[in-house]
Every structure is written in C-alpha cells, then in structure tokens.
Structure 1
Amino acid sequence: MHFVPESGERKLPDPLYTLDGDRVAAVEQWRQKRRPEIVELYRTFVFGREPLQRPSTLHFHVETTPGMMNGAAVRKQVEIRYEGSGGEGSIKLLLFIPTNRTKPSPLFLLINNRGLEHMDPERENVSPFWPAETILSQGFAAAVFNNADVDPDEHDDFQNGVHGIFDSKSEGRSPDAWGTIAAWAWGACRVMDYLETDSDIDSADVTLVGHSRGGKTALWAGAIDERFARVISNNSGCTGAALARGKKGETIGQINEKFPHWFNENYKWFKDREYELPFDQHMLLALMAPRPVYVTSATEDLWADPESEFLSLVYAEPVYKLYGLEGLGIKRMPLPDSPMHSRAMGYHLRTGKHDMTEYDWLQFITFASTSQ
C-alpha cells in the first residue's frame, strides 16, 4: 500500500495509487480504474452492496399546491412508489419551488434524519434544520425526504423497509450485504430519479445535504450517483467525512456497537484495526471529484472530531488537482465561524454543538451559488 507522505503518523493510503501499485497520473486512469476500485472497496468493507438500483416498478404520484409561503412558492408532494418480492414501499418527497422563476430551479435536497417536525408541509412550524423559506429566497428550490420512509433506523435484522422489500428471502445475508445507510443513499438516488422528470427543477444542479448519519449517507449517495452536482456533509464524523486513522472521539468499534445496522458485517472486522483499512475517508471525499464537496464541523462536536473532518478534505485535494481544480489551499483548520472555499471544496467550523443551523445553510447557499 502506498501512503501519503505528508500524512505522518496517520499513514493515510494514497488515493492516486491503484491496488496494483500503479500511479494515477491522468483523469482517464482515475475514472476507469482507481475510482471504481475505491467504490468497490467501500461496498465490500463498509456500506454494503445494494441488490438493485432503479426498480422497474418505480413510479411517481404528484400533488401540486400553488400559493404557498405567502405566494412565494409552489408546493409539490411527491410519493415515490416501488415494489419488490417483499411488498411495496414509498418515499414521500416534499418540494417547494420558487413561484417567480424564468427557468428550471437549482435545488437543495436534504436527507432528513431528525423527524417529520422539521419538514412541515404547511409551514406553520419553520425549523432552522431545514429553512425552506431562506433557501427559496436565494433562488433555489428546497426538497426534503424522511430517511425512515426508506428504512427504519433500528436494528430489526433487516426485515423492514427496503431491505424487507428487495432482499432475497431464500438466501442468507452476505457479509457485504447493504446496511441501513446504503439503503438511505439508495432512497436519495430514487428521489433523483423523480427530479429528472420534473421540468420545474434543474436536475443537473441538485445539491445533496445531510447532517450526522445523514451526512454519511449524502457522501455515499454522492459516491455511487454522480448525478448529484454537489455534496454537503454536515457534522458527519466517524465513517463520514472524518479520517479513521488517528481519529479522536467515536471509533469504528464504537459506531458498529451502537449502530450495528448502519454498515455491512465486514466493517465490524476493523474494530481497533483502523490502520488496516485499505482506504480512509479522504478517499470517500475524493469520489465526489470533480463535483464540489463541502464539509462542516462544530467546535463542541468532539465526538465527530473536527480536525479529522477538515484533514479529510485536505488529503482529498490531489484527486481534485488531477482535474485541474484547487482545493482549500491550507493545511491548518480555519478559525471558528470563518468559512472558506474554492469552487471545488468548502469547509467551515461553526461555533456550537452537533447540529445543523441556519448559519450552516447560509454557507451552503453561498458555496452552491459560487460553484454553479
């Protein structure tokens, strides 16, 4: 295994060396060999292998309501329906589109892992976790779906949600079978299937956003589905944006013990063996290239380890440079509340706790606006 020389004691694998030991020197090599290798490593050892992508049964039911947000928005409530050998399922997508638009709207899509109270379709309860009014005021459409629609966030032996619908009943689960985060990412991809059909949305300009476990989900969805134009990972920590080697706070062993359903069985082998991973999270971020990626941390979120989240971006930069794109251009973390970004990468460290606030969203909007 080749290591990034400047990564020091962390001994990070070099994203620009293939498993055969060949140096990647051109975009074509990255896209044809190294990128697929890394995706396969993550499927095998972390997130698992989904049994299908777009189901042949996928269809959409749309209800449209004009005059929302005091006339500023059109609301669409979309039911994304599918069925498999284990039954039927659906994802309920809530979508607000600016009324005064002259062309299809760019869009922010949030993977909501905090419950329905943050996505009130009537807008009687406005949450800073998903400030749809603020998003629309800046010329973007705002969409959200509840991750529990896709798969429950509980260890139910994968009997419910999309696992119950699509997993084979005649075969046992393999060690690389998809976990719950892969299921949620699959759901985000099915939302993208719908967005491509909506003429009010610029489906080539969709920014995927996730917080915490949703941030891990957003990164994996962005890795396997390059239709997402940008990916934003907020406070995603362990197995999200944060490097595993040398990480403080939550470890691979701890996350698998508390949330055994999130990942595949192979990942549990790496408890206290972070340095034996054939990858690290800078390589997950590198899978977004050349699309823009944004990572955030919070000063009090030590469980996520802000430094390891920041350094993951730093060590993903060589892949972006392969495309002729600049990274953050710094090696040290910026001061709190001092967001910085290039057209390809962004980062900020917000003062406060593990959360996603309107301050975070304002930085996301600025980043998306300057990287269009």
Structure 2
Amino acid sequence: MAGTRWRVGGWLLTAAMLTAAANGTPTADQEHAAMMRQLGITALRPGASGDPEAPNAANYDPAKANPYPVWPDLLTMADGRRVTTPDMWRRERRPELVALFEREIYGRVPADVPAVAWRVESADREFIAGRPVVAQQLVGHVDSRAAPQIPVDIRATLVLPAGARGPVPVLIMFAPARYPVPSLPDAREAERLDAAMKAALLQRDPSLATIFAAHPGFAFVEPSGFPPAPPRDERVARLVADGWGVALLDTATIQADDGAGLRAGIIGLANRGRARTPEQWGALRAWGWGASRLLDYLATRSEVDAAHVGIEGVSRWGKAALVAAAFDERFAMVLIGSSGEGGVKPHRRNFGEQVENLAGAGSHHWMAGNFLKYAAETGRFGRKTAADMPVEAHEMLALVAPRLAFVSYGVPEAGDALWLDQQGSYMATVAAGRAWTLLGAHDLGRGNDYRAALLPPVGTALLDGELAWRQHDGGHTDGPNMPYFLRWADAKIGHRPPR
C-alpha cells in the first residue's frame, strides 16, 4: 500500500500524501508544489546526484567547477558606487546585503513574531572534565494566543561553571537539549529506588519473587561510580574545561527540519497556520531566530558574559549558525562547521551540492521560497541559474565582520564529503576578508583574490585574524577544531582559562 500511487487532477499522489491531505496537513511535496505555483515556476532542474553513474552526477572536476567565475563584488553598491569607508559599509552596504539575503535566500522574519518567555524547568549538578557545573533545562514558551492550535516551546540546556569568579563566555550550540552528564543516585538513593521498583513489580506479579530470590545481587538501579561518565559530546567537555558556558539549543523545538512542518513550529505560528509567501523565512532563519531569543535570555543571567556569546553548528546547523551571526550582530563569534551549500560554499560553484539540491522538495524548507527561482528551468520569468543571484556566499560571511568568524571543515577521506566543496568554501572565506580589513580587523592574511586561492594543506591554522580558517583531518564534525577555536577565541576576547 505504501508504494501505491494515484493520479488526481494532474498530480501524482502517494498514500502518505493523501493521508496528510485528509488530515489537513500538506506534505513536503505539496508545500513545494504550492510555492512553485506562487512563483510561476513550471519546471525545476534536478539537483546534482551523489551517484557517480547518474546522468546528473555531481561534478568533482576542478576544471569544470567555475562556470560563473565572476562573483558579485563585495564592496560595490547595487548602483555601482564603491564602498570605501567603514561608515558607508555600516550605513549603506551592509543593510543592502541584509535586505537581498532576506528577500532572495533565507527569508524575512515577520514583524509580529510572538514573544518568548523563558523559565528554568529543572537543574542538575554535574561534573564535566573534572569540574563542577550547574546544568539547567530551559523552556522558552512562545505566546501562541493568536493560534492556540500551534504550540511552540523552545528547549535548551544551559551548562555553567559552578563557582566561577565572574561572568563567563558562552557558546550556543545547535544540538539536542539534554543533560550532558546526568547526575546519578548515591548508594542510599539507589537502594531506595531499587527496593521501590521491586516492590511495585511484585505487587503486579508476585511470581517474580522467585526470580529476585535466585539473583540476590541484581539491582535495577546502581549507585553512581567515580570518576563520572564522560559527556555525550566531547566538545562540551573542552568548553567547560576552558571555563566557558555552553547552551545546547534544540532546533526541532523551534521549527521542524521538514517541509511538511512549515505550518507548524514558529513559522506556522507566525503565519497562523497559513502557507508561506515567497519572501518569508525558512527553517535556517527560524533556527537563527531561536538562537537570538536564547541570547535575549542569556543576557539576563549574571553568570553570563553577554558581550561574549557565540553560536556554533555543523552541516545544516553550520548554515544556521552563519545565518544567526550574520543577521544578529550581538553574537560576538561564530564557529561554522562543514556548512556546504546554503552556508559558506559559493552558489556559483559547480562542485558537489548545488542550488538545485536545496531548491528541491527535500530541502526547500530551509530557504525562502524565492530561492527556488534560481533552479527554475521554465517559468513566467524564464530560466534562472545561480549566476542570476544578486548575492553570493562570501557576502553572507562578510555580514559577520568585524566580529569573530571561524570556518571549519574536515576531509573527505574521513567523511566530510567533497559534496561540501571545501575548496570553494575557502575561496569564499578569502573573498569575504575584504569586509574585515575595511572595518579595521584582520582577515586570513592570504589576500582576497578568490579565483587564485588554493586550499591550504590540511591542518594549516589561519588564526591570526578575526576571520579564521582551519581544515582538520577528521570527518563531518568540528570537534577536532574545538581546541583551536578556543585558543583563538580566548586570545581575541581576553579570556583566561581556569587553572
């Protein structure tokens, strides 16, 4: 039944699509088709395939990687004027770029998004990297009175050093919100819990007494041991050991990573359950909005150095981290891990993932609806490609300037696929550096000629400037770069790790 298809009114439908339609919730394919109709698109080009034998296999030939070698000039206004001063950047060029990225790529946040009220749901005293911390489960309740059928409760886990002498820098990480090293019961607590569980089971099934008698040493609940278990994420341990706080922000509680969820989550709530219009925000922008709302809350905590809060993410969360830092200048730093297309990778590069991949039904929800135009083969406005985009990835990265930005990648051999275009992302980082130097900061120190930029050897740490790059020898993670990020960020913000 699951594979059955029906043709209704010219549309090819699956059982899942019909079930969703019957429940009043459009599927991802239906939302995608509806956006195409809004835009007047009649056909999209297919995305590049990861199958090397496919007719549309992704290109990995460097000789074919730059069909559109001329990118928009970072320091030229749309009317042709050159940007020559920091004041002109701040007053004219940056707002111009922000408006273009909002309208064409990531989408605008509606002006009337409901407010968020944060509360501490629970707290746990833990030991991480041999240091005592206080971990708290936070809930950010979004006012849903305008659409009560669409509840949104943002979840995050805040981990702060216990007994710090003053406010500490904090890195917000897009990750599941859970306690890193949950505390365990001591011997007396474990004995009570075990006895209670056994008594409850015996009450339901007295015959279990023979099993318990045969295994007198068995316990459902064991007391905590020493040393404590390592955290689920080693990056958290490194941050805590360096004297930082960590906030784990669960993007699924902000907006689902699914095109079928666009009428729920914060996007659906802001739209009162209606469909998006082409210029409205996608999931990447929504996740960034959620990070900004968590930053609002962190600024109220005396334990947090609100002037030095950063944002981090890997893969799709790397894209979201860039989006958060680019649009919200309160973020002091960003660690962008393996972001690929829609992140630091240039849209105009024909290498690995393409604009057409993100414009397809599986990923379109990340972006503004207008993004689909640049994968259109036919439509009321004709054919468009990435070359028609008014902006490019280096300009998005430049919106972070002159703040701290660390671009991280791994290597294909370890799992950070060529699909992500490490070379192209390095080119974009080089090109973005002009914004840092214009604003009196330092870039990679490798010049700004992106067309001549060659990926440096793996492990080369370009960390002297406020814009930084390092490709580690690991896979699809920024974990191996976390020690380098911390040393770099500590030096830039004047943070001293505890002894």
Write the mapping of 1:70-81 to structure 2, written as runs, cut at 5 A: 72-81=132-141
Partner of 1:137: 241
**Structure 1 CA distance for aligned equivalents of residues 97 and 373 of structure 2:** 18
1:205 to 293, 301, 308: 308
Q: TM-score, normalised by structure 2?
A: 0.68
**Structure 2 CA distance for aligned equivalents of residues 118 and 59 of structure 1:** 18
Q: TM-score, normalised by structure 1?
A: 0.91
| Contact preservation (8 Å) 1:247, 1:308 | no
For structure 1, which runs of at least 5 residues remain unmatched after alignment? 1-6
2:92 to 21, 33, 54: 33
How many matched pairs? 361
Structure 1 residue matching 2:311: 3-state secondary structure: strand
**Structure 2 CA distance for aligned equivalents of residues 79 and 116 of structure 1:** 10
| Contact preservation (8 Å) 1:60, 1:194 | no
1:16 to 65, 71, 75: 75
Query: Which one scores higher on RCO, CA 8 angstroms, separation ≥ 6?
Result: 2
Q: Alignment identity in percent?
A: 27
Residue by residue over 1:138-171, the C-alpha shift from the partner in whole angstroms, topping out at 9 and shown as x without a partner, is 11111111110101111115121112222145x6
Partner of 1:298: 410
**57-66 vs 21-30, greater mean Cα deviation:** 57-66
- Deviation of 1:288 after TM superposition, in Å, equals 0.2
Q: Does 1:179 align with 2:238?
A: no
1:287 to 399, 409, 420: 399
**Structure 2 CA distance for aligned equivalents of residues 324 and 8 of structure 1:** 33
**Structure 2 CA distance for aligned equivalents of residues 120 and 247 of structure 1:** 43
Question: Looking at CA atoms only, which structure, 1 or 2, has the larger radius of gyration?
Answer: 2
**283-292 vs 296-305, greater mean Cα deviation:** 296-305
Q: Does 1:353 align with 2:457?
A: no
AA in 1 matched with 2:477: D
Residues 138, 95 of structure 1: alpha-carbon distance in 2 compared, 3 angstrom cutoff: same
Q: Does 1:368 align with 2:368?
A: no
Provide the alpha-carbon RMSD of the alignment.
2.2
AA in 2 matched with 1:370: A
| Contact preservation (8 Å) 2:67, 2:350 | no
1:266 to 364, 370, 374: 370
Partner of 2:164: 101
Write the mapping of 1:117-136 to structure 2, written as runs, cut at 5 A: 121-122=182-183, 124=229, 126-128=231-233, 131-136=235-240
| Contact preservation (8 Å) 2:345, 2:428 | yes
Residues 172, 40 of structure 1: alpha-carbon distance in 2 compared, 3 angstrom cutoff: same
Residues 346, 99 of structure 1: alpha-carbon distance in 2 compared, 3 angstrom cutoff: same
Structure 1 residue matching 2:81: 3-state secondary structure: coil
| Contact preservation (8 Å) 2:106, 2:282 | yes
- Deviation of 1:118 after TM superposition, in Å, equals 9.1
**Structure 1 CA distance for aligned equivalents of residues 70 and 101 of structure 2:** 19
Residue by residue over 1:214-263, the C-alpha shift from the partner in whole angstroms, topping out at 9 and shown as x without a partner, is 01111111111111000111000001011112241000101221312111
Residue by residue over 1:261-310, the C-alpha shift from the partner in whole angstroms, topping out at 9 and shown as x without a partner, is 11111101112711111110000010001101110112202011001111
AA in 2 matched with 1:42: F
| Contact preservation (8 Å) 1:208, 1:231 | yes
2:438 to 322, 325, 332: 322
